[in-house]
Each structure stands twice: as structure tokens, then as C-alpha cells.
């Protein structure tokens, strides 16, 4: 719809190309929904891949440290091939699956739950080294929700207390050995509490606050229909230039928020559609008591809030694939239960 009234058709058509997965994955997965065993196999492959990626990144960083005397245990230096925010998103999906399996009394790899717990700690270490603030906070939220669900299910305070303590101690230990990564979180808190953010700041938290406030101003001028699929980012960058938010318009940044991004392009209609794509899965997750779908919704909402997730192929593929995979898994199970009864 946004292509009809956009001026920058080149950008608009590229945007459509990026979002093609939103159509492809539901059609492929929905045409022949996967079995429970196939779904487990896919997620298990994801977890194994992430384990190997983590080992590669750590090995690479160690080699740089001892042979080049460079410390690359940090953010994009640690993960130069994929942005830390997106890699941590996939890691959090892997964590969600491990905790979902444990919640249902199942193990991912062996008959020992301790292996799964060690795997979660390993994935937390990788997430911390990636230094993605959204990734770290999301990891903690997922684990906290899991601990709350376990407490509600078993009424054993010891599980909640021990789990919380382990995460806290791991966080403190990693902060001690990698203070630079911890500094990003401290800076985020300082930025939120600050009343005066410099226009020429290059820090990601400061830039996001500028982007969001400017997006708010721009959206008000075309609330109903937005500015078109190809023009949303152009209009935002023009406003940033007028406000002299130097690093934002020089780097042609997007809104870094999926909700703002869709509002800029398609107005309130697009925003409502995106909102429904969050509300509907949430309703299914609670109706079917499906913890995995609940975790996915949490991951999506959190990443939508801090990244223009649907503007990149990594983000679109993540959303289209996992939402389709879990949605059709849940609906097929529901239909099977109805047919048995």
C-alpha cells in the first residue's frame, strides 16, 4: 500500500524485497506443517550452530589477544560478521527453547538437566561478550519469566532463589572480567536519567533517544497514512538534519524501533496491523498455555522496541521463520486435540 504514494520507489521496492520472507515462510511451512520431531530437530540445529559460532568467536578473540595483542572481546569487535543485536536475538531464541523444554520436564541433549543449565550459562557468557544491551536485558527477562513460571508450577521458592542467584553471580563475574561490556549498561542508565543529551553524541543509547523523539515529531505531521514505504527513512533523516543530530543523519539511521518505523511508512493503519501481529500470537500463547510462543512474543516485542527489526533480512527471516514455525505447530496440535475429543 505504501508504494502507491511513495516518491523513493527504489527504496520502496528494496524494502519489499527484504520483507519477501514474510510471505514465503508462512506459505512453505503452512502448506505442510512440521511434526513435533522435525521442529525439535530444527531448533536443536540452531542451538548446535550457536554453540559452534560462540566457540569460533571466543577462539578468534583469544588468538587476537595473544598474537596481535588486541582485545576484541567486545561488541562488534567480538562479532564482526553479524551485528551483536541480531546474533543475541538468535541466542535468546535458543535459550527460550532450552528453558521451554526444561519447563516441560524434557532435556535438550542428555538425560542430565545440569548440561542444559551449563548451556544456558555458556549462552549468557556469549551474549555478555556481544555487549548488546537489548540482548543482555532480554536474556535476563526470559530467565526471570521462566523462573516465575517454574515457581508458579512447583511452588518451590528454592528453584527461583538459586536460579536468580546464579544469573546474578554470573553477571557480576563477567562484569569483573569484562568491565568494558558492563560500561555500556551503565551508560544506558546514565543516558535515561540525563535531561540533556548532546546532538553530536555517537553513543547508541543517546542516538536512539534522538531518533525516537524526532520520529514522534515527524509522525504527528502524517499520522493517518505515513510517508510511504520508500520515504519514511528519508523524511526522518531530513528532520534529523534540521535538528542537527549530526551522527544520526550522516549515517542515515533508521528509527531503530519497528513500531516507529512502520508508523513513519504506513501511518496508524500499519501500526495497528503490526500491533495485531503481536496481540494475536500473545492470545494464542496464553490460550494454549504455550510457553515457547510466549517467549517468542517477548523476544519480538523487546527487539521491535530497540531495533527496526523488519528493515533487515536477519530480522525479517527471524520473525517470519520462527513465528510461522511455532504458530503452525501450535494450531496443528490444537486441531489434533479437537479431532481426538
Q: How far is it, in rounded angstroms, from Cα 102 to Cα 143? A: 12
Average pLDDT for the chain: 86
The answer to whether 333 and 289 are in contact (CB under 8 A) is: no
202-246: pLDDT as tens digits: 778 888 888 999 999 999 999 898 898 888 889 999 999 999 888
The pLDDT of residue 150 is 84
Q: How far is it, in rounded angstroms, from Cα 126 to Cα 79? A: 10
The answer to whether 6 and 231 are in contact (CB under 8 A) is: yes
For 3, 89, 125, 281, the CA distances from 298, given in Å and listed in that order, are 31, 11, 21, 11
The pLDDT of residue 318 is 96
Q: How far is it, in rounded angstroms, from Cα 179 to Cα 106? A: 36
Residues 6+ apart with CB under 8 A from 337: none
The pLDDT of residue 152 is 80
DSSP collapsed to 3 states, 39-54? HHHHHHHHHHHHHHHH
The pLDDT of residue 54 is 95
The pLDDT of residue 268 is 95
Q: How far is it, in rounded angstroms, from Cα 248 to Cα 256? A: 11
| Own/partner pairs, 114-118, CB within 8 angstroms, 24+ separation | 117/166
CA dihedral of residues 329, 316, 91, 169 (deg, nearest 10) = -110
312, three cell numbers:
533487515
Nearest to 304, CA basis, from 331, 269, 275, 267: 275
The answer to whether 199 and 246 are in contact (CB under 8 A) is: yes
Taking only the tens of pLDDT, the chain with its 341 residues reads: 656 777 777 888 888 888 899 999 999 999 887 888 888 899 999 999 999 999 999 999 999 999 988 888 888 899 999 999 999 999 999 999 999 998 888 888 776 677 888 899 899 989 988 988 889 889 989 998 998 888 888 766 776 777 777 777 777 776 676 676 667 667 767 776 676 777 777 778 888 888 999 999 999 999 898 898 888 889 999 999 999 888 888 888 999 999 999 999 999 999 999 999 999 999 999 999 899 999 999 999 999 999 999 999 999 999 999 999 999 988 776 655 555 55
Q: How far is it, in rounded angstroms, from Cα 80 to Cα 181? A: 16
242, three cell numbers:
534540521
338, three cell numbers:
479437537
Amino acid at each position: 500500500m505504501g508504494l502507491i504514494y511513495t516518491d523513493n520507489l527504489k527504496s520502496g521496492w528494496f524494502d519489499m524485497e527484504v520483507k519477501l520472507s514474510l510471505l514465503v515462510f508462512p506459505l512453505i511451512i503452512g502448506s505442510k506443517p512440521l511434526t513435533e520431531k522435525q521442529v525439535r530437530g530444527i531448533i536443536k540445529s540452531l542451538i548446535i550452530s550457536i554453540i559452534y559460532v560462540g566457540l569460533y568467536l571466543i577462539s578468534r578473540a583469544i588468538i587476537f589477544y595473544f598474537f596481535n595483542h588486541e582485545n576484541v572481546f567486545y561488541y562488534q569487535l567480538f562479532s564482526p560478521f553479524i551485528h551483536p543485536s541480531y546474533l543475541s536475538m538468535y541466542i535468546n531464541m535458543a535459550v527460550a527453547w532450552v528453558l521451554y523444554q526444561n519447563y516441560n520436564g524434557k532435556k535438550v541433549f542428555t538425560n542430565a538437566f545440569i548440561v542444559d543449565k551449563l548451556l544456558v550459562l555458556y549462552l549468557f557468557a556469549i551474549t555478555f561478550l556481544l555487549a548488546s544491551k537489548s540482548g543482555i536485558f532480554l536474556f535476563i527477562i526470559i530467565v526471570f519469566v521462566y523462573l516465575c513460571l517454574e515457581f508458579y508450577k512447583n511452588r518451590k521458592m528454592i528453584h527461583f532463589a538459586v536460579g536468580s542467584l546464579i544469573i546474578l553471580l554470573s553477571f557480576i563475574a563477567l562484569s569483573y572480567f569484562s568491565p568494558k561490556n558492563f560500561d555500556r549498561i551503565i551508560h544506558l542508565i546514565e543516558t535515561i536519567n540525563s535531561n540533556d543529551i548532546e546532538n553530536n553524541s555517537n553513543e547508541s543509547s543517546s542516538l536512539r533517544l534522538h531518533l525516537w523523539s524526532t520520529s514522534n515529531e515527524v509522525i504527528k505531521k502524517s499520522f493517518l497514512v505515513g510517508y510511504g514505504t520508500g520515504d519514511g527513512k528519508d523524511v526522518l533523516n531530513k528532520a534529523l538534519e534540521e535538528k542537527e543530530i549530526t551522527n544520526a543523519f550522516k549515517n542515515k539511521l533508521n528509527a531503530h524501533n519497528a513500531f516507529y518505523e512502520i508508523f513513519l511508512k504506513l501511518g496508524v493503519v500499519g501500526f495497528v496491523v503490526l500491533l495485531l501481529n503481536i496481540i494475536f500470537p500473545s492470545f494464542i500463547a496464553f490460550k494454549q498455555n504455550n510457553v515457547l510462543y510466549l517467549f517468542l512474543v517477548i523476544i519480538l516485542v523487546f527487539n521491535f522496541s530497540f531495533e527496526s527489526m523488519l528493515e533487515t533480512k536477519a530480522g525479517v527471516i527471524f520473525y517470519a521463520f520462527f513465528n510461522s514455525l511455532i504458530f503452525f505447530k501450535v494450531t496443528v496440535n490444537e486441531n489434533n486435540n479437537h479431532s481426538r475429543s
